[in-house]
Structure 1
Amino acid sequence: MKTADLVDAHDGQVRFCHLPFRMFGRRRSFWGPIATVKCFEDNALLKSMLQEPGDGRVMVVDGGASTRLALLGDQIAAILQSSGWSGIVINGAIRDSAEIDVMDVGVFCLGTSPKKSTKDGVGRRDVPVSFGEVEFRPGDHAYCDSDGVLVSAEKLV
């Protein structure tokens, strides 16, 4: 799967998330149905969702574009890996980036921060989230590789 090829074949069906993502993890491309979390500088809800079976889905996190506190670290990335998630797209920051970069995970984020998030459980799950000029709806499909992030209402791969 290459996002460039998907644009060539399905340009009218895909939406491009226009953000300067950084990639971490050994999984350099991933795709699947979307699950969503909306949280700001608090990762408790994200962690609990990632403990559920991923079944090849892509977790999309709207962290409000904050790079002040990290929403994902190596311990939660290990949960992502072991629970069968295809990958994660975070409109926010991660930490433990060197450790995550050698794990068999796919992570797109805006940047890194050494500071961990709060753990109050504030946020919402399974709701449409918007960033990078794209709305991500639960059940839509995300396609991610080194060229960027695409979203489609229908499965293309």
Structure 2
Amino acid sequence: MTFATCDLCDANEDKLANGTLTVLPPMFASFGKQVAFSGPAKTLKVFEDNVMVRAALETPGQGRVLVVDGGGSLRCALVGGNLGVLAQNNGWAGILVNGCVRDVLELNACEIGLRALTTHPQRSMRKGSGDADIRVSIAGVAIYPGDWIYADADGILISRGQL
């Protein structure tokens, strides 16, 4: 599926107006080989702990986008090279991280799309705490499990349905 977020915005001004299509603020850096990616969201809410991130990426992605609300923490990375390879090998379309990543050279070699706030060399804790398949909020934008994520070089869209 090829798309451009600019074209999707232009063609769906009614959805932008009624809030069923939202643009995330331009605060995310791009990683991975896939500049553009889309798919339904699987949501996680974690804080400085990536056990649930790994567990999710170990399952079949089926073209979904893993949305990780890491609370915007800049104190450690939630996704690194090993998890990028897991995502690639298990069929995830991409990962959106409200937090940091590491192993950038490894991530950039993966056939996935990845957006994160920035990089951080320190790994996260491994306690296994967090929530899955719940509404998360990233930069004031609510993202529900099953919402469609569209990301490309121009931005990231959250849609209540497939466009």
Identity %: 41
Q: Which residue of 1 aligns with 2:109?
A: 102
Q: Read off the aligned partner of 1:61 and give its amino acid letter.
A: V
CA distance in 1, matches of 2:38, 2:27: 19
Which residue is equivalent to 2:125? 118
Gaps of 5+ in 2: 16-20
Instruction: Return the offset for 1:11.
Output: 2.4
Give the aligned partner of residue 51 of structure 2.
Answer: 44
One-letter code aligned to 2:37: F
Q: Cα offset for 1:101? A: 1.1
* Candidates 4, 7, 20, aligned match of 1:5: 7
**TM-score, normalised via structure 2 length:** 0.93
Partner of 1:16: 23
Q: Does 1:73 align with 2:80?
A: yes
- Counterpart of 2:62 in 1: which secondary structure? coil
Give the structure 2 partner of residue 55 of structure 1.
62
SS state at 1:12 partner: helix
Superimposed CA distance per residue, residues 59-99 of structure 1 (whole angstroms, 9 cap, x where no aligned partner): 10000001210000000111010110100000000000122
Q: Within 1, Cα distance between the matches of 2:81 and 2:104?
A: 8
Gaps of 5+ in 1: none
Aligned 8 A contact 1:19 1:132 in 2: no
Bigger fraction of residues in strand: 1
The answer to whether the 8 Å contact 1:18/1:133 transfers is: no
2:143 to 136, 147, 150: 136
Cα displacement (A) at 1:12: 2.8
